[in-house]
Structure formats: structure tokens, C-alpha cells
Structure 1
Amino acid sequence: MLRGLTTVSFWTADLEAAKTWYTDLLGIGPYFERPGYAEFRLGDYQHELGLIDSRYAPAGSATGAGGAVVYWHVDDVSATLERLLSMGAKEYQPPTDRGAGFVTAAVTDPFGNVLGFMHNPHYLDVLGTRR
């Protein structure tokens, strides 16, 4: 039924600043833009990260940290955390060893969204079967 992530969307009250921040972080600009929206394709599977002007948020929706954390695979959790903190993100979850090679961490970006990242051996195993 659920076949894979298509787009992870983050709300932002300052779309231009968020586009600049994520362009600096990712090393690429948005591949798709519309008024109030910018979308990046990134990573091994070209998943999408969308930035949406928070004025388009449905009534009653959370526009800041919520209950779910989406984790992106990274090769080095500590180096990723250090880079994000140097760019103005705030620690949300410190690096946590979950056992068996899994390490998670998360920050709150300057726009109030939780950006999770982890080292995930299963991700690498699946990636290895696709190459």
C-alpha cells in the first residue's frame, strides 16, 4: 500500500529565506517552484523536500515541530549535526545510539521544522541491492 516517500513538506513563514537555507545545506537549488512553494529532489532515491509558505497551511495545522519526525539517511550523524548547528539549526534530539548500527538525531531548522537524520544500515543494504 505505502510504496515510498514522495514529498516531505515543511511550512515556513519566510519561503525565500528557507529556500536559501536549504539550498546552502543541500548544495542544490529547488528543481520545481510555484508561488508559495519550492521543491528539492535529493538523495539516492531523489526524494522530494517541499517548502510551503505557511499561509497555505490548513486551518488548525501545526506549522512548527509536531509529533512526527522523518529521518533522512546520512553517512555521519555527528558531522551532520555539527554542520546544521553551524547554520543556525537548534538541537531537537541529540545523537542517540539505537543499537545495531542505527544512530538518530534531529534539529529544528530556523523555520521551526524538525529535520531528522540517521545512520541506517538497512538503508545502505537496500541501496546496495539497487545498484
Structure 2
Amino acid sequence: MRRVDYVIWYVDSLSESVRFYCDIIGLEVRIEGRGYVEFAMENLKLSLFERSKLPELIGQSPGTAPCGEIGFRVSDVDTTAESLRALGVTPLTGPVDRPWGERTMHIADPDGNIVEFAQKIPRPSH
């Protein structure tokens, strides 16, 4: 198993989270219904599922966020940061150069899930 097919975030307010991922992140809805929204992505399925419907899906409620992060590759993290700030988003971190050869910044979605934007940069030499 070497390929991720989908990522689903469990969210409290589906409408608020859909608005965030569409208006702030810039995604488009591909499928919607019964507490589920899937975004149009090229490389995997990114979906939101309404937290109140989880007991019927998995038999229990999930833990609380943040439980992980999703990362988006961008060509220019600084431009992305400026765009997000203009939309009223306050970054959790960055933009900052990382020793593994990326410039990154992090924000939180309405449920506290972490969203990272990363730009490839030359790795520092030691």
C-alpha cells in the first residue's frame, strides 16, 4: 500500500468548513450529500464529513482536532500568506524556511485541523 486514495476531515459545521475550504483554500466541491462533501482534486480525494453523523458511519465519535495536517504544495508560500492574510486568516506559523528543503506556513481550519502550505526550496548545506 503506497498510494493514499483519500483524506476525510470530521467537522462540526459542514457548511462553515465547506466555506473555508472553498473561499480560503480555493477548492471546488465535486460531490455533496448526506453530511459529506468531496472536493475536486487531481491527485486524491479530500472530503469533509459531518461529525454528528459519525456514530452511524463508524459506531463512535472521533477524537478532537488537531489530529494531523493536510499539506498543499504551492509555488510561492509568501504570496499565499499575503493572500490568506488579506482574507483575514492568521497563520499559526511561517512562512519559514525548513531544514528539509521547504518554506512552509500553517493555518487552522474551523475545526482546528492543520493546513500546511509548502514551497520547495534548496536545502541548506552544512
Give the TM-score range, shorter chain: 0.7 to 0.9
TM-score by length of 1: 0.71
Aligned length: 117
- Taking only aligned residues, the RMSD between alpha carbons, in angstroms, comes to 2.4
Q: Percent identity?
A: 27
What does 1:1-131 align with in structure 2 at a 5 Å threshold?
1-3=1-3, 5-42=4-41, 45-57=42-54, 59=60, 61-66=62-67, 68-99=68-99, 101-120=101-120
Deviations 1:17-59 (A, max 9, x none): 22222222354531112211100022xx332221111123453
Q: Any unmatched runs of 5+ in structure 1?
A: 122-131
Aligned counterparts of 1:48 and 1:72: Cα–Cα separation in 2? 13
Tell me how far 1:60 sits from its aligned partner. Answer: 5.5
> What one-letter code is carried by the residue in structure 2 that aligns with 1:34?
G
88 and 55 in structure 1: CA distance in 2 versus 1, 3 angstrom threshold:
farther
Contact 2:17/2:109 (CA < 8 Å) preserved in 1? no
Bigger CA radius of gyration: 2
27 and 95 in structure 1: CA distance in 2 versus 1, 3 angstrom threshold:
closer
TM-score by length of 2: 0.74
Deviations 1:5-24 (A, max 9, x none): 32222222111122222222
Aligned counterparts of 1:14 and 1:36: Cα–Cα separation in 2? 10
Q: Any unmatched runs of 5+ in structure 2?
A: 122-126
Aligned counterparts of 2:112 and 2:87: Cα–Cα separation in 1? 14
51 and 64 in structure 1: CA distance in 2 versus 1, 3 angstrom threshold:
same
70 and 106 in structure 1: CA distance in 2 versus 1, 3 angstrom threshold:
same
> Following TM superposition, where does structure 1 have runs of at least 4 consecutive aligned residues deviating by more than 4 angstroms?
none
